[in-house]
Structure 1
Amino acid sequence: MTNKLILSRQIRVHTPPTGDNRDRCTSFMTKSLLLALTLSFFANLAQGQIQKDFFVEDANGVDFLRIKFCVNEKSQIFGAEVEQSESTYKNEYVINQIKEYLLGIEFYENSKLKNDCHLTTFRLINSKYENLEINGKEIPKDFPLLIGEYRYKNPFYSETKIIRKNKIQREKGKEEKQIYWIEWISDSEYNLIYKRMTDKNLRQYIGKVIHVKILDILPDGSYVYKSTADHFDWITYGVIMKVK
């Protein structure tokens, strides 16, 4: 389970209303969202974090939004553009709010991000998973998870190949290889235990555990997961697609 993002708490974002109340509601919702985003940013500023996860009503399980932003001499973001080829989320209303959020961010004066452009990835999570407290999705008996080849839905990691063989999971990217033990707790929950890492930064976690819960199976056969780990202060959501 590739760990690439530093995550803070999640925010719920409403998609725009329809009908006669659309214009009246849009102004209120936009102000409310921007206020929530501002409060979230300042709450996490001391840790150098940008809010990465948003709950929305129209995400297909979990969608991804890759944005390039630039930071000026005053440590302020002055540009934010979507990388379409690395994004799966298309709702312009929500995208524009996230871009406004970025444009309102100001880093510390001595930030290393100054005078340069950077890429960041946002996760847009379907709001039905926000407060989902279940033991995991009931997995159909004809839906095999113990073996097979998989891919991450996140376009940024789409070339990472996941090979699962009963108790072993191998992940192979362009430059990195990772091997995990798989410990199945139930049909819809499993632990990934770090076994072997080519990335030197990940070797310190060998023997540590990532807990994964399957929340849903989508019509195309991919599954939505939620993962946690004691050695990282994050909760992350994603989608894994079965290739064969």
Structure 2
Amino acid sequence: MKTLICFGFIIISFCSYSQTFVDDVDRVAVVVIDYCVDENGKRYDININLEKSSYKNESWQQGCLEHFKKGDLIYPMKMINNCWQSVYYFVNAKYKTYDLPQEDWEKCKVFHLGKFKYESPAYSETIIKRRKKRQIEKGGVGGKQVYKIKWTNDYKYQLETVKMSLKKDKHKEGNVIDVEIIEVLNDTTYLYKANVSNDDKANIVFGLITKFVK
């Protein structure tokens, strides 16, 4: 089963995404499109980043590339004279309606504090520092991102966007992201789904996060 979600979306800055449910990935894989923006806000050097793309289906990769080329940037003049990436997510179809078993709820308490990383080649340089009331993400193409974090129960939390260091992302400040842990792989890694609760056009995003162990 393959279902393409939001095929006609408008590309939103570097971390724009479309999401597809498939049967040939264990959990989550990505196709990463690299591109640059010139002084006039026009895109060029648009290519698939084969090293960062963990989803290796060539037909889907080409489909993502063509889809991206047909889209438009919302804030191109805030992205001029720099290079960015756009990420397409491919998620195992079983997670479309998957919920964390109740016996695993309490296991999520270990993820409330600490230092983490994304298990995605697209964001391999990003480090997450999670405190009681703050989450700070630094590194990679996303710059520095500051959030207020509030756990609503053991396995669900909200991130309120406080500060985005990149000019093109300033419009995201004030957004509230609802995050739910839907699978605990082991003592250090979990699978989550997230969506921007105050944006009706936002897709649900899935991903893996791993906690650094001292």
Shared fold (TM-score, shorter chain, > 0.5): yes
Aligned to 1:241: 210
Matching of residues 32-181 of structure 1 within 5 Å: 41=7, 44=8, 47=10, 52-67=18-33, 82-90=48-56, 95-102=57-64, 107=70, 120-132=86-98, 138-141=104-107, 144-174=110-140, 176-181=143-148
Residue 169 of structure 1 deviates from its aligned partner by 0.7
| Letter of the structure 2 residue corresponding to residue 209 of structure 1 | V
3-state secondary structure, aligned to 2:181: strand
Aligned to 1:75: none
3-state secondary structure, aligned to 2:205: strand
How many pairs are equivalent? 188
Contact 1:136–1:215, Cα closer than 8 Å, also in 2: no
Residue 186 of structure 1 deviates from its aligned partner by 0.6
Matching of residues 198-237 of structure 1 within 5 Å: 198-219=165-186, 221-232=188-199, 233-234=201-202, 235-237=204-206
Larger deviation: 59-68 or 151-160? 59-68
Residue 96 of structure 1 deviates from its aligned partner by 2.6
Over the aligned positions, Cα root-mean-square deviation in angstroms equals 3.7
CA distance in 2, matches of 1:168, 1:225: 18
Higher-strand-fraction structure: 2
Change (3 A) 1:189 1:135: farther
Q: TM-score, normalised by structure 2?
A: 0.69
Larger deviation: 187-196 or 231-240? 231-240
Contact 2:21–2:93, Cα closer than 8 Å, also in 1: yes
Deviations 1:167-207 (A, max 9, x none): 21111124721211111001110000122332234444444
CA distance in 1, matches of 2:191, 2:145: 21
Contact 1:147–1:164, Cα closer than 8 Å, also in 2: yes
Q: Which runs of 5+ in 1 are unaligned?
A: 1-11, 14-35, 70-79, 113-117
3-state secondary structure, aligned to 1:86: coil
CA distance in 2, matches of 1:119, 1:187: 33
CA distance in 1, matches of 2:51, 2:109: 30
The percent identity for this pair of structures is 29
Aligned to 1:29: none
3-state secondary structure, aligned to 1:166: coil
Deviations 1:43-99 (A, max 9, x none): x17x46997212122423212222569xxxxxxxxxx97533212234xxxx13314
Residue 150 of structure 1 deviates from its aligned partner by 0.6
Aligned to 1:17: none
| Letter of the structure 1 residue corresponding to residue 53 of structure 2 | S
Change (3 A) 1:136 1:63: farther
Change (3 A) 1:99 1:209: closer
Residue 155 of structure 1 deviates from its aligned partner by 1.3
